[in-house]
Amino acid sequence: MTAAIATLAALPIAADTGGGYVAAAYAVFVALLLVYIGIMAAKLVRLQRGLGDLQERTRKPGDDA
């Protein structure tokens, strides 16, 4: 087992393997994911605010709930 790890560690890695492109692709993906989550969170806040407004409008006078 350790011999296989030592052999893999000794293999040269070419500079043109595209590792930088893969890292950049992951960074773009994470950035887009964060933007999407932010948009969905803003939408959720807006929906909750609207729901609260509708609950206030439909509350009957004298309801203490």
Token look-up 């509708």 returns 54
Q: How many domains does the chain have?
A: 1
Residue 48 within any structural domain of the chain: yes
Token look-up 């087992």 returns 1
Residue 43 within any structural domain of the chain: yes
Q: Record the pTM.
A: 0.60
Q: What is the pLDDT of residue 61?
A: 74
Q: What is the pLDDT of residue 17?
A: 74
Around Cβ 28, how many Cβ atoms within 10 Å?
Answer: 10
Report the distance separating Cα 31 and Cα 28, nearest Å: 5
Residue 57 has pLDDT above 60, yes or no: yes
pLDDT tens per residue, range 2-46:
666 656 555 555 556 788 899 999 999 999 999 999 999 999 999
Q: What is the pLDDT of residue 19?
A: 86
Which position has the higher pLDDT, 29 or 62? 29
Report the distance separating Cα 19 and Cα 25, nearest Å: 10
Note down the domain range covering 38: 18-58
Residue 3 within any structural domain of the chain: no
Residue 54 within any structural domain of the chain: yes
